[in-house]
Amino acid sequence: MKTIGLIGGMSYESTAIYYRLINEDVHARLGGHHSAELILWSVDFGPIEAMQRAAAWDKAGEKLADVARRLEAAGAEAIVLSANTMHKCAAAITAAIRVPFLHIADATAIALKKADAARPLLLATRYTMEHEFYRGHLAKHHGIEAIVPDAGGRTVVHDVIFNELVHGIVKPESKARYLDIIDAARRQGADSVIFGCTEIGMLLSPKDVPLPSFDTAVLHAKAAVDFALG
């Protein structure tokens, strides 16, 4: 089994989900008392979130690249970043290490293609929905054209993530608002939904959604186990 280096803390809620999913998957595949060989570095999200608001992405990239180097030095054989938004710093991280960086959008694209999903709705932080790093990666490397909600919908999705989910708060009314946004996108031609923030699975499950849905945390964790056991 290869050792996974997991960069977490953004937020600690979704990092706990990653840790559980990776270990559950390894146990399911190997049985017995097996669990994952994993090194977790959980950063303080406060300074990172401030860098996001200040658009200090280069500084954030330097921080995460340093963490990735430290994980590699500790024995990690691949790096997994448990946050969609911070994949904006993927190039900085990749340049800093010699081991593979397992990109969350690649794991998501593989699942979308298997399901013949061609026009997914991307629900995520404002940074992920509005900046090009994520949608651009899907388009450039996988030919997938993701769509996003309108300005009002993007505000709702972003605010629920930062004001509620990252703090472990799950509200039925927020779930209803997300489902309204999904229904509007479905009527406009969306054929699937990407849970493009690793906390969204706390609020929605595939059975809630009237379209095929793809939880990036679940897919990314599976990709990590595929690498570790491949």
The pLDDT assigned to 151 comes to 98
- Close Cβ partners of 151 (under 8 Å, ≥ 6 residues apart): none
pTM given for the model: 0.96
Mean pLDDT confidence for 181-192: 97
According to DSSP, the β-strands at 192-195 and 38-42 are unpaired
The pLDDT assigned to 213 comes to 98
pLDDT in tens, 3-57: 999 999 999 999 999 999 999 999 999 999 999 999 999 999 999 999 999 999 9
Report how far residue 95's alpha carbon sits from residue 29's, in angstroms, rounded to the nearest whole number: 32
Write down the mean pLDDT value for the chain.
98
Domains (ranges, CATH) in the chain?
4-103+219-229 (3.40.50.1860), 105-215 (3.40.50.1860)
Q: Please provide residue 15's backbone torsions phi and psi, each rounded to the nearest 5 degrees.
A: -65, -40
